[in-house]
């Protein structure tokens, strides 16, 4: 008999050297049939607590996973023993008692409804004190509440097949009235410790789903417990679950009947606020938000109804929410509840927008007043605390405050829908009053923060308050760094508006350029200037010299990397408004220092400091190239004139000039950095943006660039090089003067990649992905380039793509499947390609089947389905031949049968155009192969797809 000794269990819970072996042995003992017998011996009172806990855990496992081993006749004996042990341990030890409670709960659920149909009523009757004369009435009551608490929890924890779950839930529902009656009886006339157990039990059944209309009296009794200090938080938690439960929407009348009980807490909340007991406000605020947020639609509908009492109750509830929003002090140091209210303010305005126009016009005055008061509160809550306090905050508190302000900004943005005609005049009035009163910087910062929050909602045609604001800024005492940063951010947020109101630029641009000189606010100043120069392209020309001079001056300073990059972007936006001659004059000033610095860095010995400096310079050039374009600054007449000129007389693209200057330095740079992945990525990004800017004008750089890509890839194969090479090859594959260079580059990339993959395929999934994407595009868009047999090793490419289907990364599988689909299509037109498919097509189909049957993640199933559809559409002979020889493939079966595999293949053969059906077949077959058919998880997954 496999019976664990007391010594073995004790040894497992100690630091024994044999712990692993003991664990293995005990694990086997747990699943043995003998466990049904020896657990009772180990639960004897004289055994140690560890041994008793092991026995209780073992019993739970047997009941949950091996209940089929117990016959119906023996189950009554098991139930009786389990109840006796459960009650016996009600006085402790606690961890054994808890484990026995889940075992008993599991036993009840396993036997419903056949063996124990009236389990809840039977339990309540069984725990009558007369049945257990040796157990105190209080302990017996707590034991009953414990098991009643655990049953719903265990219901959601244990996996049942779908129909069983529904049957069990319906059976438990029949016992709800007994549970409610018991809880109602105990909640009023019991000691505090028992009342706490009642609340815990109630919480569990509310989660399970107690109908509100049947538990109305119990909920009212729970409200009464709020006034008991020891039960204040627990009762509030239970009520929060009651009102926020998804099923509570089914009982609107009950919600309306119960809401006055929440309103009765308003004086309590007011007193706590006055006494500055803000932590004690939290339970009430949570309760208020549970009903308000969950039932925002019901609240709004009450204003539409003719019931004045309900209207007033809803209005009072909204103002309770506003009280919670406006708690005194600063979040998150003084209070932590105001953030709970933001979702409600969004939900109620969203509901207001959804109602009809006629109803909206009736409700708008009511909610206009509400949101007007909310704005006043949020303007206070968004403000920074005094510096003496803020300095003492932890970094975590400061981060929470930053996120909190962001939520306020979102709330104000949504509120603008209701407050359109109020908000701008209100902010303008407060700003003027604050200047006159000499307010602290925090007030101005809060005002400008709210201006920023609503920027995207303000009409571009607004001509009154925004011009007044931006022209008024010089009169505001903007001296504190945080205030300066917020002001600059506000200006940048109205960049699109400035494009429609360019006359204001003469007030804004000088302010931004002055701010650039302040080292503390370079970042927000440059961010704002970048947004404005991008959006106001047609109006920025008069300020070009000032801005470009400022950029040139700032770039001579020791700026942070991102600030320096941003300066180049600003310069690019402004340069694009100038004619070619002026562009080149400014470019000389801007580029000369950067070119010299990059050339010096190319001579340095590689280290992390030099690497970071090189990457910064390359990123600066990339942003300059991506923001400057030729001829944008010239007049329409000049553009038309240049269009008719001979191409040899036209001005070159400024980007081409930049790259011609940079190219020699890049060649020098890659001598020492050709194996550095970070630098390679930056160089490739520079070329990517250059290609995008120049398009066909890149041709003069093509040969040298192709040679550089070749050298880089030879030295260090990197997927970024494959990416940029793909763009370059596709752009110039039709250029007869470059075809030789294109084929050479493609050949080198292919040979080197295949060599790398041959040595260590699974460690270079990025190369597989890049190579397959490259070749898929080549075959699709430049088939003539590769149609000659022998120019490229397409046989090895095909085999690599098949291997790529077995890799774990979804994107690599997608790229491999993409290549194979294009290759299959090509096989229809090129005979020697068809021969390759006939040679290796079986391997491809086997790999697809392996992947679906167990070798790949379900996230890639659509890729395999699309590939099967392509095979069936373009190479049906190969698929038919494979299916006819399916029994000879020696492909091992997983959890499916050969008949299921054959049926799946027949389904695929029948579908030649319906992608949706093929994907469904693949997913269904995947579930068969993984044993998911009929399981709860499988059903959930099937519904999700």
Domain boundary among 174, 200, 226: 174
**Is position 303 within any domain?**
yes
Residues 17 and 155 in one domain: yes
Q: How far separated are the first and last CA of the chain, in Å rounded?
A: 48
Contact 313, 368 (CB under 8 A): no
Q: In terms of domains, do 281 and 419 share one?
A: yes
CA distance to 237, 247, 290, 502, per residue, from 209 (Å): 16, 7, 16, 61
Is residue 332 included in any domain, yes or no? yes
- DSSP output for 141-165: HHHHHHHHHHHHHHHHHS---HHHH
Average pLDDT per 10 consecutive residues for the chain, totaling 945 residues: 51 52 62 77 85 86 79 80 88 88 88 77 88 86 93 84 80 90 91 94 92 93 94 96 93 94 95 94 96 94 89 96 96 96 94 76 89 96 96 96 97 91 94 94 97 95 94 90 95 96 94 91 95 94 95 92 95 94 91 94 93 96 86 40 43 91 93 93 96 92 94 94 94 89 93 92 92 94 82 91 92 94 90 88 89 82 91 83 74 78 86 86 85 60 57
What is the Cα–Cα distance from 383 to 722, expressed in whole angstroms?
51
Write out the two tokens for 931: 């044993």
Whether residue 279 sits in one domain with residue 148: no
Range of 312's domain?
251-441
Cα distance between residue 783 and residue 828, in whole Å: 12
Q: Answer yes or no: is 273 within a domain.
A: yes
Give the span between the Cα atoms of 843 and 837, in whole angstroms.
10
Q: For the chain, give the mean pLDDT.
A: 88
CB 331 within 8 A of CB 400: yes
Cis upstream peptide for 332 (omega within 30°):
yes
Residue 923 lies in a domain: no
The reply to whether 310 and 166 lie within a common domain is: no
569 close to 557: Cβ distance less than 8 angstroms: no
- Is 430 a domain residue? yes
Q: Kindly state whether residues 155 and 284 are assigned to the same domain.
A: no
8 Å CB contact between 709 and 691: no
CA atoms within 13 A on the CB side of 926: 24
Instruction: Please report where in the chains the tokens 């400014």 appear, as a residue.
Output: 586
* Cα separation, 527 vs 22, whole angstroms: 64
Please list the alpha-helical segments (H only) found in 735-804.
Answer: 739-759, 765-781, 783-786, 794-804
Q: Say if residue 259 is in the same domain as residue 133.
A: no
The rounded distance, in Å, linking the Cα atoms of 451 and 468 is 13
> Is 321 within the bounds of a domain?
yes
Do 51 and 165 fall into the same domain? yes
704 is a domain residue = no
Longest dimension (CA), the chain: 111
Number of H helices, E strands in the chain: 48, 0
Report the alpha-carbon distance of residue 686 to residue 692 in Å, rounded: 10
Q: Choose the final residue of a domain: 154, 174, 194.
A: 174
Whether residue 161 sits in one domain with residue 261: no
- Contact call for residues 624 and 569 (beta carbons, < 8 A): yes
For residue 287, give the nearest of 207, 223, 331 by alpha carbon. 223
Structure tokens at 546: 């000032």
Alpha carbons 861 and 848: distance in angstroms, whole number: 10
How many domains does the chain divide into?
2
Shared domain for 8 and 130, answered yes or no, is yes
Amino acid 649: pLDDT: 44
Compute the Cα dihedral for 326, 331, 333, 336 and give only its sign: positive
Whether residues 317 and 431 fall in one domain: yes
DSSP code for 543: G
Same-domain pairing of 168 and 258: no
Point out the domain boundary residue: 144, 174, 204: 174
Q: Are 260 and 366 part of one and the same domain?
A: yes
Q: What is the pLDDT of residue 264?
A: 95
Q: Has residue 112 been placed in a domain? A: yes
d(CA 101, CA 95): 10
Buried b (16+ CB within 10 A) or exposed e, 37-59: ebbeebbeeebeebbbbbbbbbb
């Amino acid at each position: 008999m496999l019976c664990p000794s007391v010594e073995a269990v004790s040894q497992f819970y100690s630091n024994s050297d044999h712990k692993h072996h003991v664990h293995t042995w005990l694990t086997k003992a747990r699943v043995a049939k003998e466990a049904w017998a020896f657990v009772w011996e180990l639960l004897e009172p004289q055994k140690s607590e560890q041994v008793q806990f092991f026995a209780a855990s073992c019993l739970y496992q047997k009941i949950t996973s091996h209940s089929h081993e117990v016959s119906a006749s023996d189950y009554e004996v098991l139930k009786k023993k389990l109840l006796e042990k459960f009650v016996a341990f009600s006085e402790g030890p606690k961890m054994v008692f808890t484990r026995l409670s889940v075992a008993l709960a599991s036993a009840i659920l396993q036997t419903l409804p056949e063996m124990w149909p009236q389990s809840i009523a039977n339990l309540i009757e069984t725990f009558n004190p007369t049945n257990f004369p040796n157990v105190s009435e209080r302990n017996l009551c707590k034991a009953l509440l414990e098991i009643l608490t655990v049953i719903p929890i265990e219901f959601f924890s244990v996996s049942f097949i779908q129909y069983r779950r529904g049957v069990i839930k319906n059976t438990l529902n029949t016992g709800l009235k007994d549970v409610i009656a018991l809880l109602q009886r105990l909640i009023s006339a019991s000691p505090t410790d028992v009342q706490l157990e009642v609340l815990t039990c109630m919480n569990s059944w509310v989660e399970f789903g107690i109908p509100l209309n049947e538990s109305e009296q119990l909920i009212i009794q729970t409200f009464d417990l709020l006034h008991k200090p020891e039960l204040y938080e627990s009762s509030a938690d239970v009520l929060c679950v009651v009102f926020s439960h998804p099923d509570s929407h089914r009982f609107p009348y009950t919600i309306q009947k119960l809401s006055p009980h929440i309103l009765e807490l308003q004086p309590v909340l007011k007193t706590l606020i006055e006494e500055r007991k803000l932590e004690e406000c939290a339970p009430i605020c949570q309760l208020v938000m549970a009903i308000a947020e969950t039932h925002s639609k019901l609240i709004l509908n009450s204003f539409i109804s003719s019931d004045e009492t309900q209207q007033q109750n809803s209005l009072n509830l909204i103002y309770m929410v506003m009280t919670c929003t406006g708690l005194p002090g600063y979040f998150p140091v003084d209070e932590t509840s105001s953030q709970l209210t933001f979702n409600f303010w969004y939900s109620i305005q969203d509901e207001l927008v959804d109602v009809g126009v006629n109803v909206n016009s009736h409700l708008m005055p009511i909610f206009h007043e509400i949101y007007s008061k909310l704005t006043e509160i949020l303007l206070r809550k968004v403000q920074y605390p005094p510096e003496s306090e803020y300095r003492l905050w932890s970094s975590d508190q400061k981060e929470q405050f930053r996120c909190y302000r962001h939520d306020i900004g979102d709330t104000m943005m949504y509120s603008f829908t209701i407050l359109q005609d109020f908000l701008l005049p209100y902010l303008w009035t407060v700003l003027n009053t604050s200047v006159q009163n000499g307010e602290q910087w925090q007030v101005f910062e809060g005002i400008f923060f709210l201006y920023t929050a609503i920027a995207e909602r303000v009409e571009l045609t607004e001509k009154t308050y925004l011009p007044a604001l931006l022209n008024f800024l010089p009169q505001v005492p903007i001296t504190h760094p945080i205030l300066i940063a917020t002001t600059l951010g506000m200006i940048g947020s109205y960049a699109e508006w400035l494009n429609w109101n360019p006359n204001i630029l003469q007030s804004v641009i000088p302010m931004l350029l002055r701010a650039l000189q302040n080292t503390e606010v370079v970042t927000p100043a440059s961010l704002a200037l970048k947004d404005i120069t991008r959006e106001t392209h047609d109006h920025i020309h008069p300020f070009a010299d000032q801005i470009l001079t400022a950029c040139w001056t700032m770039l001579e300073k020791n700026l942070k990397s991102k600030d320096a990059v941003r300066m180049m972007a600003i310069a690019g936006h402004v340069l694009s408004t100038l004619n070619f001659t002026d562009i080149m004059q400014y470019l000389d000033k801007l580029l000369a220092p950067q070119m010299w610095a990059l050339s010096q860095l190319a001579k340095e010995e590689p280290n992390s400091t030099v690497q970071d400096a090189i990457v910064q310079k390359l990123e600066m050039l990339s942003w300059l190239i991506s923001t400057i374009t030729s001829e944008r600054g010239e007049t329409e007449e000049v553009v038309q004139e240049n269009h008719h000129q001979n191409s040899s007389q036209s001005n070159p693209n400024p980007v081409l000039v930049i790259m011609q200057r940079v190219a020699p330095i890049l060649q020098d740079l890659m001598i020492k950095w050709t194996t550095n992945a970070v630098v390679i990525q930056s160089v490739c990004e520079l070329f990517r943006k250059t290609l995008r800017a120049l398009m066909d004008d890149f041709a003069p750089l093509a040969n040298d660039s192709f040679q550089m890509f070749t050298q880089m890839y030879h030295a260090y194969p990197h997927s970024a090089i494959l990416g940029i090479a793909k763009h370059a090859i596709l752009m110039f594959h039709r250029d007869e003067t470059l075809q030789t260079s294109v084929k050479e580059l493609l050949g080198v990339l292919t040979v080197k990649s295949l060599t790398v993959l041959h040595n260590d395929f699974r460690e270079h999934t990025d190369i597989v992905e890049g190579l397959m994407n490259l070749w898929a595009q080549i075959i699709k868009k430049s088939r003539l380039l590769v149609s000659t047999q022998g120019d490229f090793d397409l046989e090895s490419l095909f085999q690599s793509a098949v291997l790529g289907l077995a890799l774990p990364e979804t994107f690599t599988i997608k790229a491999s499947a993409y290549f194979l689909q294009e290759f299959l299509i090509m096989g229809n037109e090129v005979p020697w390609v068809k021969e390759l498919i006939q040679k290796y097509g079986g391997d491809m189909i086997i790999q697809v089947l392996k992947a679906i049957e167990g070798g790949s993640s379900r996230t890639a199933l659509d890729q395999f389905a699309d590939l099967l559809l392509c095979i069936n559409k373009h190479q049906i002979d190969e698929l038919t031949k494979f299916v006819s020889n399916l029994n000879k493939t020696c492909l091992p079966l997983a959890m499916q049968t050969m008949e299921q595999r054959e049926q799946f293949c027949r389904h695929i053969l029948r579908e030649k155009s319906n992608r949706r059906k093929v994907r469904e077949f693949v997913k269904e077959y995947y579930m068969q192969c993984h044993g998911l058919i009929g399981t709860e998880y499988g059903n959930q997954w099937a519904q999700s797809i």
